[in-house]
Amino acid sequence: MEQFNNFLVLLDSNLSGSWWFPALLIGTGIFFTIYLGFPQFKYFRSALNIVSGKTTSSDSDGETTGFQALTTAMSGAVGTGNIGGVALAIWTGGPAAIFWMWITAIFGMTTKYVEVTLGHKYRTKLSDGSISGGPMYYIEHGLKSSAFGFNFPAKTVAILFAFLMMITAIGSGNMPQINNIALVMNTEFSVPKWFTGIFLGILLWIIIIGGIKRIASVASKIIPIMGLIYFGGALVILLENYQNIIPSFNAIFGQVFTGSAAMGGFLGASFAMSLKYGVARGLYSNEAGQGSSPIAHASSKNKSIDQGVVSILEPFIDTLVVCSVTALVILSSGVWTEKFDTKFSKTDMIILDGNYSDELDQNSKFVHPDQIAELTKYVQNIDSKVNEFNGTLDVQDGNILNNNVTVIHLRSIAEDVIIKNSNKDLFTGSLQINNGKVDQSRSDSVTFEGKSLVSSAELTAKAFSNGIMGEYGGKLVAIALLLFAFSTSITWCYYGDRSTAYIFGEKGVIWYRNFYVLCFILAAVIDTTVVWNIAYVVVALVSIPNLIAMFVLRGEMKTLSDNFQIK
């Protein structure tokens, strides 16, 4: 598993972790924003009027109303990215990462407008009478007429996109969702991860077997409920920490171009890290440019351009509202720099050679700033003087006897480290350490526990628990996450089965659904870091052909947009 995770990290470093992918993603949004005359602002009120029913827009075909299509797409977008993903962005990129999430969302509103309009326009009716649409259709039919100057294999590219979307549905819309649900349900309610996976897996299968009409019906009911639960709890936390709201905004804006400075247990983040994870989490959260939402919006009875206008609301609600609320709760509560008792993940733990300290003096400044500077470089994979430990780790009654090692977990210096054996008794003996990792022959027989930073949904749960709501705050997050993430898994199965139908026909859909549910169950007990790294890779891969197709069809989109009548 560790080798597989290293492979994923390598892939990600050349995809979303490289400079060109954020440039392609944001650049597409900037281009269309200017090219189409700032539609995210110009048509925002029209979007509200259409979705609220104040104005009507109906096509002869379709399986859902415009509101149902929006809530279905929203249920696919509003998930762990809004709870765990925001926390992950702060944990890795610091508060400044939130600024880049906002930038991604603002321009993503236009990107969403373009891809949804095109996806709806090129949709088709299948032999069973169901509606199917999305980027694979406008790639196949739209690119055929574009002036490439040679025989462009549009169908092949469309099949490639659909295949990548099948994988993305599992790697992004499925596995991270149940993984976070299982983690938080285990932490807050002591529910075994395997039980959560099996129980929700069965419920998932019952819902998705009913197709888009049942999915849309469930989504249109879950979205308002989960919104009320989550925002209600968040409002309590923000009112309690109202004095920290302005400083939280200062933290977000103050270090946008310099990176986030080290603070408390947080070792700091460079500008590159803030940009990378802000954009990556922004894309993962609102899915603009990814090509997934057009599949849900294509089922709408609205006219194509009108449904595209409605989709402008999606990144706004998802990132600029929900993600911002989560970020302010985490930052204002201060938990993002605090260490908590936790069981260490092998993937996120490394043993370093030498003693390092993040101790603070009376003025809240680091006693050893030079050590923090080197550790900051190290956790960001920048050349540093830090070396990984190689040798024998001597342990007595769970305590490390070596006085020249430092344990790093979740990008923080671990404290009060205790080592236990497989029976959960205190370990006594020796462990061979190779390049900072416990030798594989012993890694499954011991566990490390102690205090460190926490990330993902667990960090958000700590923020909600750190105040007047106490332990009930964490339980509220668990319930909200259950609704957010489960609804996401439902919608993403639809994205995957429409892609399957495009390649293999309707006969392949049932096999895909069964495999989707199996992966859903298994992901409940898989390492969290590995699951998130899978999501990073597949999201980037599926976005590339979609963004290119949108640019090629820019002229057609310009005509459709110019003919839209403001409502």
441-450 pLDDT per residue, tens: 887 789 999 9
532: left (phi over 0), alpha (psi -120 to 50) or beta: alpha
Using the predicted structure, report yes or no on whether residue 411 has a pLDDT greater than 80: yes
* Strands 429-434 and 415-421, sheet pairing: unpaired
Q: Whole-number mean pLDDT of the chain?
A: 87
Region of 70 on the Ramachandran plot (φ > 0 left; ψ -120 to 50 alpha; else beta): alpha
> Residue 19: is its pLDDT beyond 80?
no
Residues in the chain: 567
Give the residue-averaged pLDDT of 126-131: 76
CB–CB of 168/539 below 8 Å? Answer: yes
> Does residue 389 have a pLDDT over 90?
yes
User: What does the angle CA 83 – CA 86 – CA 88 come to, to the nearest 5 degrees?
Assistant: 105
Burial of 320 (0-12, 13-18, 19+ CB in 10 A): middle
Q: What homologous superfamily is domain 12-54+66-338+462-562 in, according to CATH?
A: Amino acid/polyamine transporter I (1.20.1740.10)
Residue 426: how many CB atoms within 10 A of its CB? Answer: 14
Q: Which amino acid is at 245?
A: I
For residue 545, give the nearest of 49, 24, 13 by alpha carbon.
Answer: 24
Give residue 308's pLDDT: 93
Q: How far apart are CA 139 and CA 115, in angstroms?
A: 11
Name the pTM for this structure: 0.84
Domain extents in the chain: 12-54+66-338+462-562, 340-452
DSSP H helices in 15-143: 20-35, 39-42, 44-52, 66-77, 80, 86-93, 96-121, 135-137
Report pLDDT digits (tens) over 160-205.
999 989 988 888 788 888 887 888 788 788 899 999 999 999 999 9
**Quick one: pLDDT band at residue 60, thresholds 50, 70, 90?**
low
Q: For 154, which DSSP code?
A: H
